Structure 1
Amino acid sequence: MTESTTSQPVDKDRPKISFIPKDYKANDRNLDDLIVITAQVGEPLVKKIIMDPGSSADVLFYSTFQKMKLSDKNLQPSSGELVGFSGERVSIRGYIWLQTTFGEYPNSKTVDIQYLIVDCRSPYNIILGRPTLNAFNAIVSTVHLCVKFLSQDNKVITIHRD
C-alpha cells in the first residue's frame, strides 16, 4: 500500500511555475550572486531587499524603518532575539504588519507581511525569508537570479534581481 506524501491538494487550475534558459539574464555565470530586489513595502518603494529562503524570519532593519517615516508607535511589542548564521544574537525591537507588493500593477501581488524590527547594521534594508516567500507562493531560482510568483489574477510573474 502506498501513501501520498503531498500535504496540499494540487490545484489543476493554477499555472505551473518553471524556469527556462531565457529566464537567465545575468551577464556572467557567477552563480554565487544574491537575489536583491525592489518592492513596495507600505507606501514607499524599498531597494536592497534580499530574498533569503534560508531565513525563518522577515526582517526590517530599524534604520530603514526610520527612513520609511514609520513611527515607533506603530511597533507591536515583541520580545526575543534573532540568532544569525554564526550564532550572533540581535534583540527584536517589535514587529509591524505592512502591505508588501511584488511586481507592478497589473502584474503584481500584494500581501500583508509581518516584519520583525531589529536595530543592527546591514547592507540590506529588508530580509525576506520563508514566511514571505510562502505567503506569495514564490519560488526563488539562484541559478536564474530571479523569483517567480502568481499574480492576483493567477499569472506567473518574474522579478529579476536589481
Structure 2
Amino acid sequence: MACIDNPVIGFIEEDARCLHHPHDDAFMVSILIGDYNTHRVLVDNGSSTDILYYPAFQQMRIGRERLILTNAPLVEFRETRVYPLGVVTLPVTVGDYPQQITRDVTVFIVDCSFAYNAILGRLALNSWRAVTSTYHLMIKFPTEYGVGEVREDQVVAHECYIAMLEMEDHLSMMCIEEQ
C-alpha cells in the first residue's frame, strides 16, 4: 500500500463517466489564481511555460509594478514570437478542500488575443507532481489528504474552441489585402 507522501496515481474508466465520447477537446479547467477563480485555463503538457493573459491579469487588479521585466520571447504554435510584458509569481490553488494544494507559480504575462485566460504548462504541473489524462480530461496530484483532482468542463472547452475559431476568422480577414 502506498503511503500518503507517495500515492499511486492512476485513472480508471469511471473517471471518464461524465464526458461525451469520443472527444478531442482541449483540456480546460478552472483553478484559483491569487484570490480569483480563473476559468478557461488550458492545461498544456507541451508548453514549457505557464502563461497568464493580460486581460485576466488586469481583472485581478495586480499592479504592473509587480511585474519583473523579461526580454525572453515565447514562441507560439504559429511560430511567431511573443514578448511577454513580464513575469509575476502568484499562488495557485488546485483541487477541492481538503484534497487541494497551493503552490507559487511564476507566470509570463502575455498581451495578445486568446480565448483562454491562462495556460498551465509543465513547470506548474511538475511542481504539483501532477499526472494528466487527456482521455479522462483530468489532473490528479498528491496532497496531504490523499489524491486531489481537477476535472474539465467540456461545455467551457467547446465555448473556447468556438471563440478561437471566431478570433482566427477575424485575424485572417484582417490579413487579406486587395492586390
Same fold (TM over 0.5): yes
Aligned-partner Cα distance in 1 for 2:129–2:87: 22
The equivalent position to 1:84 in structure 2, one of 62, 76, 79, is 76
Task: Please identify which structure carries the higher helix content.
Answer: 2
1:102 matched to 2:102? The reply is no
Q: Does 1:156 align with 2:147?
A: yes
How many positions carry a matched residue from both structures? 150
Q: Structure 1 residues 106 and 27, CA, compared in 2 at 3 Å: closer, same or farther? A: closer
Q: Which amino acid aligns with 1:109?
A: I
**Matches of 1:154 and 1:33 in 2, distance apart?**
30
- For residues 17 and 113 of structure 2, what CA distance do their matches in structure 1 show? 30
Partner amino acid, structure 1, of 2:57 = F
RMSD value, Cα: 1.2
TM-score norm. by structure 2 comes to 0.80
Q: For residues 15-71 of structure 1, what are the alpha-carbon distances to aligned partners after superposition, in whole Å with 9 as ceiling and x for unaligned?
A: 100000100034421331122111110111111111000001000011110011111
User: In 1, are the aligned partners of 2:99 and 2:145 still within 8 Å (CA)?
Assistant: no
Specify the alignment match of 1:45 in structure 2: 37
> d(CA) in 2 for partners of 1:26 and 1:54?
25
TM-score computed with the length of structure 1 as normaliser: 0.88
Q: Give distance in 2, aligned partners of 1:96 and 1:28.
A: 37
Residue deviations 1:112-156, cap 9 Å, x none? 0000011001100000000011011111100111111112x0511
In structure 1, C-alpha distance between the alignment counterparts of 2:118 and 2:110, rounded to whole Å: 10
Residue 66 of structure 1 is aligned with which of 58, 66, 76?
A: 58
Pairing partner for 2:121 from 107, 125, 129 = 129
Answer yes or no: is the 8 Å Cα contact 1:15–1:154 preserved in 2: no
Instruction: Return 5+ residue gaps in structure 1 as ranges.
Output: 1-11
Q: Which runs of 5+ in 2 are unaligned?
A: 154-179
Q: What residue in structure 2 maps to residue 146 of structure 1?
A: 138
Check 1:25–1:69 CA distance in 2 against 1; reply closer, same or farther (3 A cut). Answer: farther
What's the CA shift string for 1:94-119, capped at 9, x where partnerless?
00000000012211000000000110
